[in-house]
Amino acid sequence: MPPRARAVAKAASGARTAAGAANVEGLWLAELQRLADGAAHELRNALNGVAVNLEVVRSRSSRAGTAADTLGSFAGAAAEQLDQVIAMTEALVALTRPLRQPASVGRVADQVVALLHPPAVASGRRVSLVVEGEGATGTPADVVRLLVSGAIRAVVEAAPEGGEVRCRVGPVEGVELDVTGAGARPLRLDEVWQRVADAHAVRVAAAPGAITLTFPA
């Protein structure tokens, strides 16, 4: 190939890569918006729990003759709610920050579960995560986030009331995210999401109620 043609081909390839990256970034932002939207109500709820219980502590502690131990349960409830606020806020902040390579599938899954768990609990479902190792992968960070979040969310949304969604991240021929728990319900996986997985050599094995993603190491 003449040098000029090689240069044009290289430029074209670079443009395609940039366009693809921009596309993934856009898709991830949309996914992040969905996560934040789902978590917002629970975030407000938790803040509400903090505010209401602290108000009890504040008003009762200013009253003469109130025993300190009677305030303990309200202070405890406020602290518990505050823990949830912190966990969700931390996860949200982390997911909005640029991610260094190699991306950790385990960490991303942890952040996603931190946001998906409270609303899932509110609607009568549970989400648990087991991470075996860091699960580092060479797959671009936004692609990892998009695919991990999309997979877990799809199973949680399909899970029946009272059901439990189990996520496991472990090293099997690369890094595997195994999500189960939707019973026999079919998953609603976005076509673009699947195309992104294919484009980045992430293997997707979807069955009714379960999905396994295998990232290259």
Partner 1 sequence: MATTKQPKILIADDEATITTGLSAILSDEGYDVEVAGDGQRALDRLTAESFGVILADLKMPKLDGLALLKELQKRDVPTECIIVTGQATVDSAVQAMRQGAYDYIEKPLNAEKLNRLKALIPKALEKFTVQQKNRELASKLEGLTHYGELTGQSESMRGVYQVIDAVAPSSASVLILGESGTGKELVARAIHSKSERSKGPFFALNCAALPKEILENELFGHEKGAFTGSTNEKPGAFEMASGGTIFLDEVAEMSPDIQVKLLRALETRQVRRLGGKKEINVDIRIVAATNKNLQKAIADGELREDLYYRLAVVEIFLPPLRERAGDIQLLAKEFLSRFASENSKQVGGFDDSAWSWIVSYAWPGNVRELKNAVERAVIMARTDTIGAADIMPRHLRNSSDMPALTIEVGNTTVAEARKQLVLRTLAQTGGDVQRTAKLLGLEVKEVVKELFALAGGNGAPRTNGDAGAERASQHKGDAGAAPAPRGKPPAKGKKK
| Site for partner 1 contains 87 (CB under 8 A) | no
Q: What's the Cα-to-Cα distance from 42 to each of 14, 84, 95, rounded to whole Å?
A: 42, 9, 17
Task: Count CA atoms closer than 13 A to 195's CA, side-chain side.
Answer: 7
Q: Which is nearer to partner 1, 69 or 191 (CB)?
A: 69
Per the CB < 8 A criterion, the answer to whether 142 and 104 are in contact is no
Length of the chain: 217
Would you say 106 or 118 has its CB closer to partner 1?
118
> In the complex with partner 1, which residue's Cβ is closer, 39 or 108?
39
> What span, in angstroms and rounded, lies between the C-alpha atoms of 104 and 134?
6
Structure tokens at 112: 């996603």
**Could you give the 3-state DSSP secondary structure of residue 180?**
strand
| DSSP designation for 174 | S
Residue 74 or 215: the one with the smaller Cβ distance to partner 1 is: 74
- State the amino acid at position 27 in one-letter form: L
Beta strands 126-131 and 164-171 are: parallel
Q: How far is the CB of 162 from partner 1 (least distance, A)?
A: 11
Q: Which stretch binds partner 1 (CB under 8 A): 22-30, 77-85, 184-192, 195-203?
A: 77-85
Does position 48 interact with partner 1 (CB under 8 A)? The reply is yes
x/- track of binding to partner 1 for residues 16-45 (CB under 8 A): ------------------------xxx-xx
One of 34, 60, 166, 203 touching partner 1 (CB under 8 A): 60
- CA distances to 6, 102, 114, 171 from 148, in Å: 36, 15, 13, 15
Binding status of residue 80 toward partner 1 by CB under 8 A:
yes
Contact between 81 and partner 1 by CB under 8 A: the answer reads yes
- Number of residues in contact with partner 1 under rule CB under 8 A: 25
Q: How far is the CB of 86 from partner 1 (least distance, A)?
A: 15
Q: Which residues bind partner 1 (CB under 8 A)?
A: 40-42, 44-45, 47-53, 55-56, 59-60, 73-74, 77-78, 80-81, 122-124
